[in-house]
């Protein structure tokens, strides 16, 4: 029982350390971040299993990536060309793939993405307009390809609408009207097109009525026309799809514009009636929005239950996590890399309409006369652009928002001890960050994270397991934050195992590889009599004099 209590205590210490690991911030997809979070939860759970288990870890085989086919290599090379904006080279590579394998769907998707990436939003030059039309034609042809899923075809169809909008508002309106009247399309698709047209009609009216309190006769007539067209569109949309949330919302907004007009004409009865109808339409829109959110929450709850099931581990999983890590490679899968470039952005057709105003959020004056106020959502995004944990952090502690020059600057060095046990020379800008300490000079960053060791004696096998867990935890977090964009990969190798003052140390070399560069780095996992350490030296290889200076200074009291 005493041994079990020691084990439990040791797990709590490891758990506390893992949960306070500094989070490396990069720009990446939500899905990639969720993968990293799942990995973190997995390691925490596994550490409990393996540290409390009685078995010994077996020798781990090298973790190698699969051999890529010639086609995959060519597609990845094309993705790197696109990253460098060398679209002509990318096109040649993709065409070679399609010549040898006409059904290669990845190559077709990347070719479409390459075409879309070359488009310059807001550029009305003949060259750019020709490129937009070429992209529209390419996406329309792709929609006839049975290899694409129905969801992919729907997204391509929506993206084509956005492309029409890049040409001109007139082209966009004509395309929407064409789609709305197309009996070969589903009722939902047609209703969606009508809803966007209704939204544009509302925007037409709102831009006039929001600009000033008194309107000229000609302006009132223009608003009346906008409202009349908009009401026809909303009614058509609702006839086709009575649960079209956007149509009901735009109907409410158009009726509110109608109420404004009656107010300008001092017709109180008709104003009250228009406002009553607007409130009813808004109520229906809110009901549909609530139903949609309820359905989403049920789906999220279902997905969360699936994640919980996936987060359960066996003793075999625990043993695997405790095995020695000698080699590791991770990269963005070709599937994810292609998804990233297939569409420049996800698109809801209602995003083609100006943001709906939120009166209660009007705390600051608008900068442009006649333009609709910003949505609350965009305001929230602006507020959240800098993580709250970083807002009060010291300047110069190497936050994502700090200038890169802070890392490049040459600093003086000083002796530093993060915990009274380890003593090391570091640049004099060392600061506390994310539960550890960070310093940087001449392009190299040094990060030290430590956790206390329990006071009772542990066998070399248990200590070995802890170091393996720490190495795998770092690798999972670091590779998960790096990998996620096309052309990126992460590679790690164990350089050597050492004995320092009777305690084990593992030194690794790892590479951060992208299309344009190859960054060498060093990872050191170290045990002392009182602590465990994860030391990351980012920006240089072990042979670099800057790294050597740091490593030679490491000592313990």
What's the pLDDT at 396?
Answer: 55
Q: How confident is the model at residue 29 (pLDDT cuts 50, 70, 90)?
A: very low
**pLDDT over 70 (residue 348):** no
The domains of the chain are located at: 2-60+323-333+390-556, 191-315
Using alpha carbons, select from 375, 486, 422 the residue that is nearest to residue 77.
Answer: 486
Please state which of the ranges 54-68, 305-319, 350-364 shows the lowest mean pLDDT: 54-68
**pLDDT over 50 (residue 91):** yes
What's the pLDDT at 398?
Answer: 75
CATH fold for domain 2-60+323-333+390-556? Protein Transport Mog1p; Chain A (3.40.1000)
**pLDDT over 60 (residue 377):** no
pLDDT higher for 501 or 399?
Answer: 501
Cα 503–504–510 angle (5° rounding)? 145
**pLDDT over 60 (residue 50):** no
Using alpha carbons, select from 214, 186, 294, 203 the residue that is nearest to residue 254.
Answer: 203
- How confident is the model over 517-557, as pLDDT tens digits? 899 999 999 999 899 999 999 999 999 999 999 999 999 87
- Kindly state the tokens that stand for 10: 């040791």
- Kindly state the tokens that stand for 173: 């309106």
Q: How far is CA 284 from CA 25, 121, 196, 201, 375, in A?
A: 42, 36, 18, 20, 21
- Measured in degrees and rounded to the nearest 5, phi and psi for residue 519 equal -95, 125
DSSP letter assigned to residue 496:
E
Number of CB atoms found within 10 A of residue 555's CB: 13
Contacts with 468 (C-beta within 8 Å, 6 or more apart), sequence order: 57, 321, 322, 323, 324, 325
Residue 427's SS3 state is strand
**Cβ-based burial of 205 (10 A; exposed 0-12, middle 13-18, buried ≥19):** buried
pLDDT higher for 155 or 29?
Answer: 155
What's the pLDDT at 333?
Answer: 87
pTM above 0.75, yes or no: no
**pLDDT over 80 (residue 33):** no
> 94, 78 in Cβ contact below 8 A?
yes
- How confident is the model over 297-335, as pLDDT tens digits? 999 999 988 887 776 667 777 777 788 999 999 998 899
What's the pLDDT at 76?
Answer: 93
Distance CA 35, CA 554 (A): 34
pLDDT higher for 515 or 56?
Answer: 515
Residue 424's SS3 state is strand
* Mean pLDDT (whole number) for 424-428: 95
Per DSSP, helices labelled H in 210-267 are 217-240, 245-264
Contacts with 490 (C-beta within 8 Å, 6 or more apart), sequence order: 328, 329, 330, 331, 475, 478, 479, 482, 483, 510, 511, 512, 513
What's the pLDDT at 285?
Answer: 95
């Amino acid at each position: 029982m005493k041994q079990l209590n020691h084990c439990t205590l040791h797990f709590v210490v490891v758990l506390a350390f893992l949960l306070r690991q500094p989070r490396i911030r990069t720009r990446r997809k939500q899905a990639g971040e969720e993968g990293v979070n799942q990995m973190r939860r997995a390691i925490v759970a596994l550490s409990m299993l393996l540290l409390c288990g009685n078995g010994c870890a077996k020798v781990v085989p090298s973790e190698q990536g699969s051999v890529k086919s010639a086609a995959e290599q060519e597609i990845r090379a094309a993705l790197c060309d696109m990253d460098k904006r060398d679209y002509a080279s990318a096109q040649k590579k993709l065409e070679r793939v399609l010549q040898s394998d006409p059904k290669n769907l990845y190559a077709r998707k990347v070719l479409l993405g390459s075409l879309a990436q070359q488009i310059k939003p807001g550029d009305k030059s003949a060259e750019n307009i020709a490129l937009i039309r070429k992209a529209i034609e390419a996406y329309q042809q792709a929609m006839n390809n049975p290899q694409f899923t129905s969801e992919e075809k729907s997204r391509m169809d929506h993206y084509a609408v956005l492309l029409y909008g890049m040409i001109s508002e007139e082209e966009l309106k004509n395309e929407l009207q064409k789609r709305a009247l197309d009996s070969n399309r589903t009722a939902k698709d047609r209703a969606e097109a009508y809803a966007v047209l209704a939204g544009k009609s509302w925007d037409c009216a709102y831009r006039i009525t929001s600009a000033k309190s008194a309107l000229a006769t000609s302006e009132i007539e223009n608003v009346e026309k906008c409202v009349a067209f908009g009401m026809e569109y909303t009614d058509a949309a609702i006839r086709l799809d009575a649960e079209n949330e956007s149509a009901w919302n735009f109907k409410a907004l158009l009726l509110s514009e109608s109420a404004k007009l009656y107010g300008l004409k001092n017709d109180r009865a008709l104003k009250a009636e228009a406002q009553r109808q607007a409130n009813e339409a808004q109520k229906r829109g809110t009901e549909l929005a609530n139903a949609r959110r309820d359905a989403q929450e049920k789906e999220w709850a279902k997905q969360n239950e699936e994640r919980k099931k996936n987060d359960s581990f066996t003793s075999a999983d625990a043993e695997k996590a405790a095995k020695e890590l000698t080699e590791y490679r991770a990269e963005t899968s070709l599937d994810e890399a292609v998804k990233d470039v297939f569409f420049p952005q996800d698109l809801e057709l209602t995003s083609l309409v100006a943001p709906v105003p939120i009166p209660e959020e009007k705390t600051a004056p608008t900068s442009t006369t006649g333009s609709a106020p910003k949505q609350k959502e965009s305001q929230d995004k602006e507020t959240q652009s800098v993580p709250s944990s970083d807002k009060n952090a010291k300047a110069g502690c190497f936050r994502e928002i700090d200038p890169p020059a802070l890392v490049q600057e040459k600093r003086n060095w000083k002796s530093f001890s993060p915990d009274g046990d380890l003593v090391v020379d570091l640049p004099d800008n060392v600061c506390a960050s994310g539960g550890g300490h960070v310093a940087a000079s001449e392009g190299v960053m040094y990060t030290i994270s430590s956790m206390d060791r329990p006071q009772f004696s542990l066998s070399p096998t248990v200590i070995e397991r802890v170091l393996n867990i720490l190495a795998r935890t770092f690798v999972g977090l670091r590779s998960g934050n790096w990998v996620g964009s096309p052309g990126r990969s992460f590679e790690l190798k164990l350089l050597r195992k050492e004995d320092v003052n009777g305690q084990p140390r593992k030194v690794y070399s790892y590479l951060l590889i992208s299309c344009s560069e190859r960054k060498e780095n060093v990872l050191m996992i170290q045990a002392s009599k009182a602590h465990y350490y994860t030391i990351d030296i980012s920006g240089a290889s072990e042979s670099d004099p800057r790294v050597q200076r740091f490593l030679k200074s490491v000592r313990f009291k």
